[in-house]
Chains A and B, each alone.
Chain A
């Protein structure tokens, strides 16, 4: 089946008939993937479609039940032959595989440091690291502490390390998830350069726009199966989404433009001349039933403002009032008591206790008022958890499933459930759809719309155009202060230009 017309280069990687089961769950069923040398190939699919499993099989971290993987026409090495796999393929994960306390140079040659008479030669190590970084044009000092690298530089160091093993096929797992616009642009420039130098990329992303920007071919997985492989030029965005979801949909999110709103609804949140570490003199109000976006690049201070309102961060001057009650600085229990619900920026860092069940996670904010003397009656726990699972559409085995076993989108729904458990009057949502699939994104933004109709005041802190579309107005921050306000009905280009600070003035 790998017969090729003579003269054509064999695919750099070819996976045929790959199936993988985990107990009763089918993770991949007869999936296939063919990546030609020199192209950038996108692998897309909703959470749970089987992307991670396929990446695991392609990198030799797990064996498939059936099917075979071939690299440049050769059968894949044995699973035990880590060295062999490393020479053919590498994956740059979202989570860093760099050891932060070692230098860049040592990270590049970890466990294969050049030696002289059995001792590590640090000078040779530094020289070789410099050569490697220069060869691939990575502008990072080799003696820098790796933990101090920016995300983007860290990814390039990981790519350089993979290339130094001889691999010319690199898998990028959501490389842009933690980058802002400018950084993404720089990363894409480097990817194109590396591509020109003969490196092949498999690119995994939830941002379909990026797929069109950087890739030539796209493969879609859905429900563990291969759906389509086609040049991106032949697959417009709606057809791509259709292939991913299996339905003919466009993102079904309520657009705030044309929404009728009560202009005289009482003010639920007042932020007055608020100042803190990375923001100053920020003022705005949100009325009941109003959704306000707070946007800007990652370093604009938007997260600082949001965390101050949620009690997660401190403010040094100014005031936040919920209704007419002032909010103390940096006091989460007080914020909860005043009726502020919060989806924190990172679900893994502040959002969830992965080792605990869904029920405990959703109830964490309200555990003091479920039963007498702080006891949590099991019946009530079960009712509330089922209620949260149902109303948010969490795909799970039940309230006692550990959160660590959920997919990203479902985990984010649990974080949302935790924010809503308190029946808040003000909701602060930070990057509420970060790293979740199209369907979950739709569900989460649907919750925002439902909460708006219930009359909550909602602050959506994000730089995602799709998150912001549901907002009545979007405030844009730059260097710690609000610089622009866009009423619903803005065009994508105008808003993105404003966020990136490149609007024509």
Chain B
């Protein structure tokens, strides 16, 4: 109860060193950089193509969708909750948006609504899924893990049902625009993901809402006693998470050039891996957007390297998993803090 060594005696003013405290916090954010640098050096040695501008653009493009969903999941985890259903949202939302736009001949519903309506519906579906998750978790106080697991299965089933298992081609160009339109040679999707991370990072650090997420994740009772509307904020984060995942889904659609019935399938494991390697604590209340972003980039670089190194595709999964474990250990060693 009483003695905390670091403040044990007023007789040690030498430790009144604020930069040391600040550094300790920053080291956890930077824990992944050594691993990332090692991978980049290895990549440069393995393949001369690795450090070319084209390849870097490829890496960034390929992880834009993952980045959006990791961003959504990180916000939810920091608030002390879970959302497994984000991967289904990333598949379901764009598919419904496409189905109401496409004619029957292209496997659509035949409503043939304007494209802009379809795109708005994509975002709205994400928000509605988040709203329902929030309702079940916040209002009915059901367990977040199981609620979103059930939601994952439901949405996966509804996607297969709505598309009858078929892949949707011939979408309006607007569905691919985020990947096709480029700025400075880099697709809009990448810029959008970067912007989203930047805004999230600033809000988390400098806005009361961001600080409220940490407070709720750290101790919801104390947050409530300090006047934070805990339920409302959690609910809002679920809705925001749903919208971000839907945007991530649009990225996938643009990247692939179609919507298959299993779009997003299995993605959630990678999402959690990226967030945790990036220092987002599964206990809630800890982690930064910078950390999460390094987690995403690390996984993106690994994927790219495995492809460049011409690893047989049958083995890619096994190696990918091993590298995730390795990255976790490196992050644990460099930060010195236990991961939770």
User: Measuring CB to CB, which residues of chain A are less than 8 angstroms from any residue of chain B?
Assistant: 22-27, 45-53, 93-94, 173-174, 177, 223-224, 310-312, 332-333, 335-336, 342, 344, 349-356, 360, 363-365, 367-368, 370, 373-378, 395-401, 405-408, 410, 418, 435, 437
- Whole-angstrom CA separation of A398 from B23 in the bound complex: 13
The reply to whether A398 and B18 contact each other, CB–CB distance below 8 Å, is: yes
Q: Say yes or no: A397 contacts B225, CB within 8 Å.
A: no
A375 touches B215 (CB 8 A): no
Minimum CB distance partner of A352 in chain B: B222
Q: How far is the CA of A46 from the CA of B4 in the complex (A)?
A: 12
A364/B215 in contact, CB under 8 A: yes
Asked if B3 and A48 make an inter-chain contact with CB atoms under 8 angstroms apart, the answer reads: yes
Chain A contacts for B17, CB-based, 8 A:
397
Separation of A418 and B206 alpha carbons in the complex (Å): 18
User: In the bound complex, how far is the Cα of B17 from the Cα of A307, in angstroms?
Assistant: 38
Please determine whether A368 and B208 come into contact, CB atoms closer than 8 angstroms: yes
Q: Which of B9, B208, B225 is the one whose CB lies under 8 Å from A342?
A: B225
> Which of B9, B16, B212, B214 has a CB less than 8 Å from the CB of A397?
B16
A481 CB to nearest chain B CB (Å): 26
Q: Is the CB of A22 within 8 A of B6?
A: yes
Contacting pair B225 A350 (CB below 8 A): yes
Some 21 contacts from A to B, beta carbons below 8 A apart, are A23-B5, A25-B9, A27-B5, A45-B2, A47-B3, A48-B2, A48-B9, A174-B1, A332-B224, A335-B227, A342-B225, A350-B221, A350-B222, A353-B214, A355-B218, A355-B286, A360-B214, A364-B211, A397-B21, A406-B7, A407-B7
Cβ–Cβ < 8 Å partners of B10 in chain A = 223, 395
Cross-chain contact A312 with B225 (CB below 8 angstroms): yes
Chain B 214-236 near chain A by CB (<8 Å), digits 1 or 0: 11011101111111110000000
CA distance A311 to B227 in the complex (A): 9
Chain B residues contacting A435 (CB-CB under 8 Å) are 1-2
* Chain B interface residues toward A at CB < 8 A: 1-12, 14-18, 20-22, 25, 206-209, 211-212, 214-215, 217-219, 221-229, 285-286
Q: For residue A399, which residues in chain B have a CB less than 8 angstroms away from its CB?
A: 18
**How many cross-chain pairs have Cβ atoms below 8 Å apart between A and B?**
170
Report B-chain residues with C-beta under 8 Å of the C-beta of A374: 207-209
Query: When the two chains form their complex, are residues B8 and A25 in contact, meaning their CB atoms are under 8 A apart?
Result: yes
In the complex, chain A residues whose CB is within 8 Å of the CB of B219: 349-350, 352-355
Q: Which applies to chain B's interface (DSSP): helix, strand, loop or mixed? A: helix
B107 to chain A, nearest CB (A): 45
CB distance from A76 to the nearest CB of B (A): 20
Given known A-B contacts A354-B219, A376-B207, A395-B10, A406 and B4 have beta carbons under 8 A apart:
yes
Of B9, B12, B17, B286, most A-chain CB atoms within 10 Å:
B9
Question: Is B211 a contact partner of A398 (Cβ separation < 8 A)?
Answer: no
Complex contact A375–B206 (CB within 8 A): yes
Q: Taking the nearest CB of chain A, how far is it from the CB of B176, in angstroms? A: 35
Minimum CB–CB distance from B332 to chain A (whole Å) comes to 18
Report chain A residues within 8 Å CB of B4: 48, 52, 405-407
Question: Is there contact, CB below 8 Å, between B227 and A333?
Answer: yes
Q: A333-B229, A375-B207, A408-B2 are in contact. Are A349 and B222 (CB under 8 A)?
A: yes
Residue contact B8 to A224, C-beta cutoff 8 Å: yes
In the assembly, what is the distance between CA of A478 and CA of B208, in Å? 41
Closest to B285 in A: A355
Inter-chain contact A376/B22, CB cutoff 8 Å? no
Residues of A within 8 A of B218 (CB): 353-356
Q: A405 near B6 (CB under 8 angstroms)?
A: yes
Nearest CB of A to B202, in Å: 8
Which residues from A are CB-within-8-Å of B226? Answer: 332, 364-365, 418
CA distance A310 to B227 in the complex (A): 10
Closest 8 CB pairs of A and B: A367-B208, A52-B3, A353-B218, A398-B18, A22-B5, A364-B226, A350-B225, A355-B218
Give the Cβ gap from A366 to chain B, nearest Cβ, in Å: 9
A57–B206 alpha-carbon span in the complex (Å):
42
Q: Pick from A25, A50, A93: contact of B15, CB below 8 A.
A: A25
- Rounded to whole angstroms, the CA-CA distance of A378 and B205 in the bound complex is 9
10 additional A-B pairs beyond A22-B5, A332-B225, beta carbons within 8 Å, are A26-B8, A49-B2, A49-B3, A53-B3, A53-B5, A223-B11, A355-B286, A356-B218, A376-B211, A400-B21
